[in-house]
Amino acid sequence: MGVLDKLGVGIGWRPEIDLTVERLPGVDFVEVVAENLHVEHLPESIVLLRERGVPVLPHAVSLSLGSADPVDVHRVEHLGAVAEALGAPLVSDHVCFVRAGGLDSGHLMPVPRTRDALDVLVANVKTAQANLPVPLALENIAALLEWPDGELTEGQFLAELVERTDCHLLIDVANLHANARNLGTDPNRFLDEIPLERLAYVHVAGGVEHDGVYHDTHAHAVRPEVLELLGELRSRVDPPGVLLERDDNYPSDSELARELAAIREVLARHA
């Protein structure tokens, strides 16, 4: 897939850890939350990383492409403008909805895995693609609940989405673990069903378990089960990139470096 052939191992850039990201060894690429950036006032740290030639990929959280509501083209255009300002080869958002009926959930909500919902999602993704200067990758989310009357597995749903829109996939193995733990999704079946050749990159993140529910917090260490899933994925495909997401409760630089090293180790071991 051209420019994405070799992204390598990366970390989510956040303002709280800007200096850490700059000086961590072995950061091949970073991701930024697109909604937090103003094209006219890019953070110094991001400009510095770009000057060093580090790819910076915009990641959106608010397009709500799974919503029944029509796509908010202004949000798509902002994402595209950020991609152009950063010279990014690709942008991403999630297979989810955040707005419905005039309300905002404040978080990524799962869409029903029905034909209706898939048709709407496909139409929305096509609208987004038509308004973006670069390809779009879509990510599987961690869901805490499941809609009734699903007609497709999550893997089948994503496979058909890719087939009908030609989008790329951003696979989050922590979200895959969350859904396996909380909803009983079979991660191996998921990996069998999705078109791995459309994989743009992989997310890895930490979480915590409370009362038998796994919470995808991005504020705790990466759990061994999540690294095992990364290994399972790597045994099937060599992903162009793998990115660690940490959004809160930031650990020391050395701890983050250890997590990146653990990711590299898993990738090497399952190669």
Partner 1 sequence: MTEGARERLAEAQSELLTALLAGGPSPAGFDERLLRVEARSLLAKRRGIVAMLGPEVVDALGDEFRPLFDEYALGHPRVAGSRAREDTADFAKWAQERGALPEPAKRRWWQRKAT
Q: Which is nearer to partner 1, 139 or 216 (CB)?
A: 216
Distance CA 78, CA 4 (A): 22
End-to-end alpha-carbon separation of the chain, Å? 19
Q: Mark 35-74 with x for binding to partner 1 (rule: CB under 8 A) and - for no binding.
A: --------------------------------xxx-----
Cα gap 91→168, rounded to integer Å? 10
Residue 53 Cβ, how far from partner 1 at the closest point, in Å?
A: 34
What 8-state DSSP symbol labels residue 145?
Answer: S
Is residue 147 a contact residue for partner 1 (CB under 8 A)? yes
| Cβ count within 10 A of residue 32 | 23
Question: Residue 102, class by beta-carbon neighbours within 10 Å (0-12 exposed, 13-18 middle, 19+ buried)?
Answer: exposed
| Structure letter (DSSP) for residue 4 | G
Shortest distance, position 122 Cβ to partner 1, whole Å: 8
Smallest distance, partner 1 to C-beta of residue 96, A:
11
Mask for 107-126, x = binds partner 1 (CB under 8 A): x-x-xx--xxx-xx--x---
Which residue among 145, 252, 254, 271 contacts partner 1 (CB under 8 A)?
145
Cβ 271 to partner 1 shortest distance, Å: 37
* 126/270 with CB nearer partner 1: 126
Q: Is 206 in the site for partner 1 (CB under 8 A)?
A: no
Closest Cα to residue 201, out of 32, 23, 29? 29
3-state secondary structure (DSSP) of residue 189: helix
33 interacts with partner 1 by CB under 8 A: no
Contact 91, 62 (CB under 8 A): no
The helix (H) or strand (E) run that includes residue 180 is helix 173-183
Give me the least distance between CB of 72 and partner 1, in Å please.
9
Residue ranges that bind partner 1, judged by CB under 8 A: 67-69, 97, 99-107, 109, 111-112, 115-117, 119-120, 123, 144-149, 182, 213, 215
